[in-house]
Structure 1
Amino acid sequence: MLSSIHTLPEEVINLIAAGEVIDSIAAVVRELVENSLDAGATRIVVALWMQQWRVRVTDNGCGIKLTDLQQAAIAHTTSKIRNSDDLWKISSLGFRGEALHSLTQLAHLEILSRPALTAEGWRVVYATGGEVVEATIAAIAPGTVVKVSDLFGNLPNYREGLPAIAQQLKAVQTTIQQIALCHPHVTWQVWHDDREWFTISAGKTSRYVLPQILRQVHLSDLQELKIEVPHPDNLSNCKDEIATHAFLNLVLGLPDRCHRHRPDWIKVAVNGRKVKLPEIEQTILTATARTLPRDRYPVCFLHLQVSPNHINWNRHPAKAEIYLHHLDYWQEKVSQAIEQALRINPATIPESLHNSRVGKLIKAAESTSGYSFNRQIQPDVEVVQNSNPLPYILKAVAQVNNTYIVAEHPGGLWLVEQHIAHERVLYEQLVNNWQLVPLEPSVILNNLSLTQRSQLERVGIEIESFGEQMWAIRNIPAMLQTRDDCADALLELSLGGDLQTAQVAVACRSAIRNGTELSLEEMQILLNQWQRTRNPRTCPHGRPIYLSLEESALSRFFRRHWVIGKSHGI
């Protein structure tokens, strides 16, 4: 239940640098739905009439009593904070609680509300400045309805300068979607011009909401972790009266299944509000580097729940960008969480994450077999959680075309491409222990450009002139030392970019080639090494390493669920 609305002390008013920023219809929607969430709403309906500059937000929250309604829109009255100390530990979404007063300066404001367990509701109309001009009993279900009309009517020039209606609608949709991700327990219904526009259903976690927003992403493409971590204050034996633990909730698109052309789906939220945190966003990009194809970006939603007094909201007037205390600590925890999410472990095996690929594979096989497959039998799309506490083990069974390792596990079969699996193993070894060793005798390279020579020196390789258009290479990455084609490998390194690119090139050059015959023992060693890597799902170039053929999909294809007599027409 929200606390009562009251007038702020003078010293608090002086500390507030600016009122709520109401600069668009999207901002109106944001402020009103945040108030609904603060009231404990689990169902919010937003209705828009863009041509008439009208907005209506209806919720099933706790409602507002009449005495509070009479003060709700007066300047410097709020239920969110009480004194100056509260400015540094704000926990409400409505922030300082002055949005309603701001709206009375820009539009006509009307509120209908009925608190739970009361017999009647009230309708209150406000004048400019927030004074009540009309208060009448109203028939209304428990909850609140806020009506805003003639928005910016007193600023006609400002209206003309706003974007086109289509752009404003897009901004509203984005605003609601971002808030919905932070509050997955809420059901949303959005109307435009008396027609339903879109809905977002409540889900157990943010992972169930994201596919409703990004339609091309499936639930099985996402990995979710919720981790309780010690609060940074606790590490320094500092007493924190508000929280002793913090939480990190991560929803990550698995890199072998979904990614983006632009970094437009790296979303960060703190304490229920989507914010800009450039430092954490860069941490996410760094942690997912070398798991995605070139020029591709991750799908990631990160929600941090921290003690409110560790957030400074004064980085941006609209609370869109914040300062986060103990930033280094959180960057480390985010990197560790992403690394954990990308691992293959018993918690995600057996998995039905590759069912779309399995379906395509079965379809291709079916076209050459002459066997008709019932299209109505679809593999399950939910991830099956495995409670087996024993380490997960892949068993090498065979090799296909000297390229793919067939690996068995309790849930079915995997096909693992040997070259890129080995490339992932070698790349992580190189990152952990990049070592250059003397080269005897030296390798002589011809006709190197200035750019190529500079690139070799950039990654630590010693190069000396050895005659006209000839250069002697004095050291080499240890992994290439025994290779017969080390001259070709050095030329490849000379065309690369930074050290990380060079390490990828060395790993690719050193990995076993497709077409190489392996014994069962060699296959098993490679599988064991690969499973222990930090990012086993993709190679450093972003290619998927394995294809999962789950037992459930195979049994459906071979119709093992049939009764034998019926399947033979008996």
Structure 2
Amino acid sequence: MSSIIQTLPPDVINLIAAGEVIDSLAAVVRELVENSLDAEATRITVSLMPNLWQLQVTDNGKGMSVEDLRLCANAHSTSKIRDRQDLWKINSLGFRGEALHSIAQVAELEIFSRAAIDEIGWRVAYQEGKLVTEEIVAIASGTIITVANLFASLPVRRRALPSVNQQIKLVQNIIHQLALTHPGITWQVWQNQKPWFNLSPGMTAKEILPQILKRVNLTDLQFLKLDVAVPEESEAKSNLELVIGLPDRCHRHRPDWVKIAVNGRIVRLPELEQTIITSMAKNVPRDRYPVSFLHLHLPSHLVDWNRHPAKTEIYLHYLPDWQEQVTQAIEKALTITPINLPLAVVNQRVNKLLKVAEEKNSYNCEPNETKPKHELNLIQLKAVAQVNKTYIVVEHSSGFWLVEQHIAHERVLYEQIQDHWQLIPLKTPILLNNLNFFQLEQLERLKIEIEPFGEGIWAARNAPALLAQRDDCHEALIELSLGGDLQSAQVATACRSAIRNGTPLSLPEMQNLIDQWQSTRNPRTCPHGRPIYLSLEETSLARFFRRHWVIGKSHGI
């Protein structure tokens, strides 16, 4: 009886392998532009003709010699690694030697290239994976790769691909992601021989992000770069770069712009993504998500890229430690320091300021112990006036701010409550009527002691310290019983206990509040995500009042 299992012929093996690596038009673009980046290109041009199943990638990178051109489309031929040990120290975007070989199996491949050290360039052409043309050409140093008749040998693959518009969108996303991770690159992208979009280079991803998200301004973003220690490895060096949207002005309806990159490539790390969302949860408005881009530059042996052929999923060592470092970086990025100050410019959305009608209530402004500003590296803020018994005018070296007193104090109290959440006994129990099962369960969850005190009546024996001395403690306990976790209860307690708008303050009281607020961990928004201050910078005031005008000219002389 003959064997049923047989070895596949080489051409079938190559076609199957190519179909796994090159599964779409976007995959071809990804592999080619990653090779350009590995070749240290600073200018990359991508030209797409999707209806003709054709594309071209041009770069000014190091180029290839004729010997390299003869080998580049062979299976598993690469200049990136040499042996098995190199798999644990990957420092390039490509390393498997599959890209050009796989493309040559499913398309016609033409390559023009000249190495920077060579005086002549070469053109090679591949059909059905075989070298069919080799000739000398005149070309500047760099590489031009043209892919034509993509998937002509796999008509079923063509029919199964998404629509042209969806494929074009995928290509755009890939280029946007690589532009963020390699901000020094100039990108030109063409579609059907017409300019589609350009991306200008920048020093950091902060300059790239506003080119991608058109409603985001450069001044809406904060950039932070930190050297971070590698756990258990004293000599290993790493750093993180964080671009984060200031929560009082930049956020999204969906968590679609929480991006993470590791060593030059955007990857999926759900644990770190959730860390960012959680760290920003009480800074952005309700039901909104942050805009953020985190780039970890780590020693190569801490990253295993062999999890997925597209290299979008990785194994990362010491993940809990990176989560902690990211949380600390976000906290530092949101602190108002002299480094962050230039980001505060005139907010054009003055008419969108939140007007919260607050009950008038007494407020006892007791000074709290705060660290000296020089220890916290904070800017000098001076309270100078109160407007409408609601806003505090704060002067600093570059202009002034309007600080909304209620939500600034709410931020102060919320962080104090977080650090020192305390329930104290009530001198006189508070009676609560007609609580349902869920309200009773909620109060017990918050560790508030309650016991039956008659039919439909319960007695509360303790309460949060800030609420216990208030006349409206009864209403506050009812509010807490209506749902939410401990954090929500802390927010509600801070909101109810904070100074009310309409309360007059003396200058010392205002200054004390400003000092406390400035020293908080997240001074830009209240715990509900509302903006706390409006910035009016000197440069913008000078521009508005035309102080740069020549007097004679301004009077028509």
Same fold, TM exceeding 0.5? yes
The CA deviation at 1:554 is 1.9
Match of 2:43 in 1: 43
Aligned partners of 2:221 and 2:343 also within 8 Å: no
Match of 1:14 in 2: none
Aligned partners of 1:19 and 1:98 also within 8 Å: no
Match of 2:317 in 1: 325
Could you state the TM-score of these two structures normalised by the residue count of structure 1?
0.88
What is the correspondence of 1:7-26 to structure 2 with a 5 Å cutoff?
A: 21-26=21-26
Match of 1:442 in 2: 429
Give me the whole-angstrom Cα distance separating, in 1, the residues matched to 2:549 and 2:179: 43
Match of 1:91 in 2: 91
The range that moved more, 425-434 or 552-561, is: 552-561
3-state DSSP of counterpart to 1:70:
helix
The CA deviation at 1:357 is 4.1
The CA deviation at 1:482 is 0.9
Aligned partners of 1:358 and 1:553 also within 8 Å: no
The CA deviation at 1:349 is 2.2
Aligned partners of 1:277 and 1:323 also within 8 Å: no
The one-letter code sitting in structure 1 at the alignment partner of 2:152 is G
Match of 1:64 in 2: 64
3-state DSSP of counterpart to 2:409:
helix
Give me the whole-angstrom Cα distance separating, in 2, the residues matched to 1:350 and 1:272: 28
The CA deviation at 1:255 is 0.3
The CA deviation at 1:472 is 1.0
What is the correspondence of 1:93-112 to structure 2 with a 5 Å cutoff?
A: 93-112=93-112
Aligned residues, how many? 521
Does residue 143 of the first structure (1) align with residue 135 of the second (2)?
no
Give me the whole-angstrom Cα distance separating, in 1, the residues matched to 2:405 and 2:393: 10
Match of 1:419 in 2: 406
The CA deviation at 1:329 is 1.4
The CA deviation at 1:416 is 0.4
Match of 2:233 in 1: 234
The range that moved more, 202-211 or 448-457, is: 448-457
Match of 1:551 in 2: 538
Q: Are residues 532 and 44 of structure 1, via their aligned partners in 2, closer, same or farther at CA, if it must alter by over 3 Å? A: same
The CA deviation at 1:149 is 1.1
The CA deviation at 1:494 is 1.1
Aligned partners of 1:355 and 1:553 also within 8 Å: no
What is the correspondence of 1:343-354 to structure 2 with a 5 Å cutoff?
A: 343-354=335-346
Match of 1:567 in 2: 554
3-state DSSP of counterpart to 2:113:
strand
3-state DSSP of counterpart to 1:393:
coil
The CA deviation at 1:18 is 9.9
Match of 2:132 in 1: 133
Match of 1:404 in 2: 391
Aligned partners of 1:20 and 1:318 also within 8 Å: no
Give me the whole-angstrom Cα distance separating, in 2, the residues matched to 1:95 and 1:438: 65
What is the correspondence of 1:179-258 to structure 2 with a 5 Å cutoff?
A: 179-235=178-234, 244-258=236-250
3-state DSSP of counterpart to 1:334:
helix
Aligned partners of 1:52 and 1:150 also within 8 Å: yes
What is the correspondence of 1:506-521 to structure 2 with a 5 Å cutoff?
A: 506-521=493-508
Among 290, 301, 320, the alignment partner of 1:298 is 290
Give me the whole-angstrom Cα distance separating, in 1, the residues matched to 2:316 and 2:449: 43
Aligned partners of 1:466 and 1:472 also within 8 Å: yes
Match of 1:162 in 2: 161
Q: Are residues 466 and 315 of structure 1, via their aligned partners in 2, closer, same or farther at CA, if it must alter by over 3 Å? A: farther
The CA deviation at 1:92 is 0.8
Once the two structures are aligned, what percentage of the paired residues are identical?
64
Match of 2:114 in 1: 114
Among 261, 264, 272, the alignment partner of 1:269 is 261
Aligned partners of 2:345 and 2:537 also within 8 Å: no
Give me the whole-angstrom Cα distance separating, in 2, the residues matched to 1:339 and 1:112: 49
The one-letter code sitting in structure 1 at the alignment partner of 2:34 is E
Could you state the TM-score of these two structures normalised by the residue count of structure 2?
0.90
The CA deviation at 1:151 is 1.1
What is the correspondence of 1:284-295 to structure 2 with a 5 Å cutoff?
A: 284-295=276-287
Give me the whole-angstrom Cα distance separating, in 1, the residues matched to 2:292 and 2:352: 27
The one-letter code sitting in structure 1 at the alignment partner of 2:194 is R
Match of 2:442 in 1: 455
Q: Are residues 216 and 35 of structure 1, via their aligned partners in 2, closer, same or farther at CA, if it must alter by over 3 Å? A: same
Give me the whole-angstrom Cα distance separating, in 2, the residues matched to 1:66 and 1:342: 53
3-state DSSP of counterpart to 2:227:
strand
Q: Gaps spanning 5+ residues in structure 2: where?
A: 1-16, 354-373
Pairwise CA RMSD of aligned residues? 2.0
The CA deviation at 1:453 is 1.5
Among 342, 346, 355, the alignment partner of 2:334 is 342
The CA deviation at 1:172 is 0.5
